[in-house]
Structure 1
Amino acid sequence: MEVRYICPTAYDSSVYLVNGKVLIDAGMNSDLIIKQLEKYIKLTELKLIILTHCHYDHTAAAAAIAEKSGAEVGIHKADLEGVNDEYLSVSVLFGERAPAVKPTITYEEGDKIDIGDGEYLKVIHTPGHSKGSICLYEPVSKSLFSGDTVFPRGGFGRMDFEGSEPNKMLGSVEKLTKLDVKNLYSGHGAPTDRDGNKQITASYTMLKMIMGA
């Protein structure tokens, strides 16, 4: 699996180009992101944009990228409504309107997404940060795209947004501890290829302490 890491500004989510065909999250600044993508591919080679959840910093650029590339856009069914809502998308916190993107595909737990070269991403529903947050696991390279569910060094996503489900976050992170993860590609910050399992376990331990579980 080939992964290109793109992060145009400090406020955008991390954006990952996978196998030159699939984009995981889209960030906010479409002009900068498209410029970065065109260093690696012709934009029309992009076939799919997967949104790990409905928040503005991950989705705002998706409409422009999809329009220029012709790519489809997918999101978990529980966040389909939220992506175009000012409060559920938290676009109001950025002083912006909700994203204009209209997802064409919805995902559920256990779905397998073809990413070419005989590889796939398994959809893991991890509610907590949002109702429809997902992580994506590629078993051959032992890679996890974790969105804003967990971050390196014991971090995890906020649970105080409209649509967050803090009572489900611990179970979601516990689910991730059962995976064999080497490479962790989170929704913010640079990816890491060291001790993915340990970093997820650290997130789980920290979350248990904070929640008093």
Structure 2
Amino acid sequence: TDYFLAHVPDGQEATILAGELAEGGWVHPRLALERWRAGHETIAAPILWTLIALAEGGDDLAARLAEAPRRAAAPARRIELKWGIVLHPMKTRPLPPATHTNAYLVGESEMALIDPGSGEAEELESLFELIDALRADGRRPRIILLTHDHPDHLGGLEAVRARYRLPVAAHAETARHVRVDLVLKDGDWIPLVPGAGDWNLRALHTPGHARGHLCFLHPRTRSLFTGDHIPGGGGTVIIDPPEGDMSAYLRSLERLLSEPVETLFPGHGAPQGAAERRIRGLIRHRLEREAQVAQALTPEPASLRELVARAYTDTPPALWGYAERSLLAHLIKLEAEGRAQRAGEGWRRP
């Protein structure tokens, strides 16, 4: 992405790209930063550091703008899209096409660390540098929160627990696989000391991808930390039976529509706004896929391999092995509704 800085005459009117932006207008850099610190705005890192440079004045502006990448990485790389919400991507081994898992540090004087995903020494050292830099600013971690028990979301758990002596909180299903200090259920609050405003987080049980999957909601900033429930970008997550459950996944998506969510902070990929549009899009996609799966069934039994070729024509064949798992989840849902029937190793229309 290219960014341009231009001096324009007085009286110019701001316009927006329909479909990409919700609204637009002129704003003084200092006012924009005040709104960011109050939690009212989400600002991408390049724009944030541009606003900081502009707020500092016009002298040597070009040179200070060029210094933004170095300033953003000193003393540790800090991606703070909302004030008090620091994203830290860690190289992990998730399912393709993802290559990283996002850890998040949420709060001010007290922070919750969500999903320290990598146990690799270099990745951990980078996370420790960030945490120690935040501690120097008076912001210390208080608790580790886990969205679920998959390895790419807790690979660094024991190293972080040992270094900072932090308690770990997760759902009871996650606690069957990982040692936790606090079991969370749907609706539980995780209290954090207030700063610019309230920082308490609420746990939302969102099964579907994993039985014990939790999302964490920060109501004041309308931010939802989604783990694997909602990936970044326009992609979808694999629903892999028996732990994965398509009916539960759709119910979990539906319940999020009643929550005060504006910005999604996923476990993989970039954060995004327009949360309701994204959630409704995922529901629509799953139901459209379900219709394709139902249409692919015939009175004659067919294997998963045969059905995936019929129902996933828009998916590259190299990914059909992964698609088969979500296909099976759709078939199990259809079976429960009386719309699909097992026939030995295959599936058919009843």
Letter in 2 for 1:147: G
Describe the superposition over 1:100-128 as per-residue Cα deviations: whole angstroms up to 9, x where unpaired.
Answer: xx211110011011132132111110111
Q: Which has the higher strand share?
A: 1
Aligned to 2:275: 196
Aligned to 2:231: 151
Shift in alpha-carbon separation, 1:136–1:170, aligned structure 2, 3 A: same
Aligned to 1:180: 260
Q: 1:35 aligns with which of 115, 123, 126?
A: 126
Q: 2:101 aligns with which of 13, 19, 22?
A: 13
Q: Distance in 2 between matches of 1:57 and 1:200?
A: 23
Task: Please state if 1:46 is matched with 2:141.
Answer: yes
Q: Give the match's secondary structure for 1:131.
A: coil
Q: Distance in 1 between matches of 2:152 and 2:215?
A: 17
Q: Distance in 1 between matches of 2:283 and 2:193?
A: 32
Q: Is the 8 A contact 2:173 2:211 kept in 1?
A: yes
Q: 2:187 aligns with which of 96, 110, 115?
A: 110
Q: Could you say what the CA RMSD is over the residues aligned between the two structures, in angstroms?
A: 2.2
Q: Which has the higher helix share?
A: 2
Q: Is the 8 A contact 1:74 1:104 kept in 2?
A: yes
Q: Output the TM-score relative to the length of structure 1.
A: 0.82
Q: Is the 8 A contact 2:233 2:269 kept in 1?
A: no
Aligned to 1:90: none
Q: Is the 8 A contact 1:30 1:65 kept in 2?
A: no
Greater mean alpha carbon deviation, residues 149-158 or residues 203-212: 149-158
Aligned to 1:96: none
Aligned to 1:169: 249
Superposed displacement of residue 6, structure 1: 0.6
Between the aligned residues of both structures, percent identity stands at 26
Q: Give the match's secondary structure for 1:185.
A: strand
Q: 2:286 aligns with which of 204, 207, 213?
A: 207
Q: 1:78 aligns with which of 129, 150, 173?
A: 173
Shift in alpha-carbon separation, 1:184–1:149, aligned structure 2, 3 A: same
Q: Give the match's secondary structure for 2:200.
A: strand
Aligned to 1:22: 112
Q: Is the 8 A contact 1:76 1:106 kept in 2?
A: yes
Superposed displacement of residue 52, structure 1: 0.2
Aligned to 1:92: none
Q: Give the match's secondary structure for 2:91.
A: coil
Q: Distance in 2 between matches of 1:161 and 1:30?
A: 29
Instruction: List alignment gaps of at least 5 residues for structure 1.
Output: 84-101
Q: Give the match's secondary structure for 2:239.
A: coil
Q: Give the match's secondary structure for 1:201.
A: helix
Q: Output the TM-score relative to the length of structure 2.
A: 0.51
Superposed displacement of residue 30, structure 1: 5.0
Q: Is the 8 A contact 1:152 1:186 kept in 2?
A: yes
Superposed displacement of residue 22, structure 1: 1.0
Task: Please state if 1:123 is matched with 2:214.
Answer: no
| Bigger relative CO (Cα 8 Å, ≥ 6 apart) | 1
Letter in 2 for 1:104: D
Larger Rg: 2
Aligned residues: 194
Shift in alpha-carbon separation, 1:6–1:161, aligned structure 2, 3 A: farther
Q: Is the 8 A contact 1:47 1:72 kept in 2?
A: yes
Superposed displacement of residue 13, structure 1: 1.6
Q: Is the 8 A contact 2:210 2:243 kept in 1?
A: yes
Q: Distance in 2 between matches of 1:152 and 1:200?
A: 11
Q: Give the match's secondary structure for 1:136.
A: strand
Q: Give the match's secondary structure for 1:203.
A: helix
Aligned to 2:163: 68
